[in-house]
Homo-oligomer: A and B are copies of this chain.
């Protein structure tokens, strides 16, 4: 028997939750005090909860198992909410531990008192306030089971301070891994018939279905049937580059996605939703599946996508097909004056084998998929839920999960500022992250969207809302101020040299590149 906090930590590490991204307060002090009783638990301090939750997201995408977060009451959970939203949309497992006041203290409506569960429900498939020290370890196991899925989910365990400090707890045994369902033989036959019928067809892959094993199966199916392969717009984790099958991502802009999907008669969903427009626009369709196209859900997010696809491979007699894979093919390093496109080209030219890219370059990263298509094998992590401020924290988490692999955070300026505190954790943990900061000194994507939503005229006050020049942000000073060695590069040659140095040296680096926005402001 021990106190709640110690039993909780033992339960977490025994179940494989061995990393915790933290931003604690007073109500979490027993959890903090107990950390030294669980040597297997790595506690990574962050200066802001959005860093903690985004890092937990990045960690789980790469580690394949959840990290915990440690957050302070409703305010702390609120600060972490945007990146929990992204994790939810990306089907990424996270176990939140949110401290709360002691149970007998709640009645007094003290300053930090709020209804934590209401906030948690926005992002969590599973929410529970632990009622007693004796039940805490079991609650933790239930949280881990809920989070692990499939699909991965956000589970939020609210931990009253007295449940944490109370005595009489014991750790709980780790959960048995789930055995997710697979597609029925009938469904596989139906899909096989649809794909063999000679009508235009495509597989849309998302979630867990963009890893090597599933991609290889999908490629065999594509070769056997002529079906196209598409990836969802914002993949949670896409394995790509030399030696891997090629899958085309659906475009962000609905007009382009519609062009990709035009004429399809069958769309087979594998851990993906039927395609829809990211935002709605006056007079434009939200649902992008063409009229007359039949949608087949071969594997729902709750299912085992790989086994389901393998069954389809068997029915199609495609198991012996040699997958068509991407050949190694890099662009030349760019030269001269820098543009966003040339920065992407430089990444393609220099990306090391086994790199992890966290892509929140927004409009500046438009040509990144093109320039890196033939780069050495790498993982691409994108902005799954659209709540910006995810790129830097995800890079933190990916680097913690994969200490041997170089991480590149391709980061837009506007988005960077939501969770800029990530830089400090990179420095503190000496993470091997190279931040490439595309500073176009505007909310460039909104310059485009302002036109697309049909706003007819843009006055000076409106234009000013998208402008980040007054003052311009100096990311070299900001980065150095948080302990990350930071430089600004003025041309492509300097960029190449800075990237090579960042790859060669351990620990984090920040490279600021001032680039023109790809969208000219209207103002």
Contacts and interface: CB of A to CB of B under 8 A. Distances in A.
A50 B50 CA distance: 11
Nearest to A116: B122
Contacts of A112: 278-279, 385-387
10 nearest CB pairs, A to B: A36-B459, A78-B81, A471-B483, A75-B387, A477-B481, A33-B455, A102-B280, A105-B280, A478-B481, A75-B82
Interface size class of A (residues with CB under 8 A): 35 or more
A287 B108 contact: yes
A30 B457 CA distance: 10
Contacts of A165: 282, 453-454
Interface in A375-424: 384-387, 389, 414, 417-418, 420-421, 424
Nearest to A478: B481
Interface in A68-124: 73-76, 78-82, 85-86, 88-89, 101-102, 104-105, 108-112, 114-116, 118-119, 121-123
Contacts of A86: 75
Contacts of A461: 35-36, 43
Nearest to A450: B29
A357 B99 CA distance: 31
A24 B465 contact: yes
Contacts of A122: 74, 78, 114-116, 118-119
A167 to B, nearest CB: 10
Contact of A420 (B37, B279, B420, B472): B420
A476 interface: yes
Contacts of A482: 471, 473-474, 478
B476 A481 contact: yes
Contacts of A459: 33, 35-37
Nearest to A75: B387
A230 interface: no
B280 A101 contact: yes
Interface in A32-52: 32-37, 43, 45, 47-48, 50
A273 interface: yes
A455 B32 contact: yes
A33 B111 contact: no
A487 interface: no
Contacts of A50: 79
A350 B26 CA distance: 34
Contacts of A234: 111
A85 B119 CA distance: 12
A154 to B, nearest CB: 12
B465 A474 contact: no
A153 to B, nearest CB: 14
A25 B286 CA distance: 18
A475 interface: yes
Interface string A456-488: 111111101110101111111111111100000
A483 B384 CA distance: 32
A49 to B, nearest CB: 8
Contacts of A32: 446, 450, 455, 462, 465-466
Interface in A101-154: 101-102, 104-105, 108-112, 114-116, 118-119, 121-123
Interface in A254-284: 273, 276-280, 282
20 contacts: A29-B449, A29-B450, A33-B462, A35-B462, A43-B461, A43-B464, A74-B122, A75-B385, A78-B82, A81-B119, A104-B286, A105-B276, A105-B277, A110-B386, A111-B386, A112-B279, A165-B454, A474-B483, A475-B481, A477-B478
B449 A26 contact: yes
A162 B280 CA distance: 8
Nearest to A480: B477
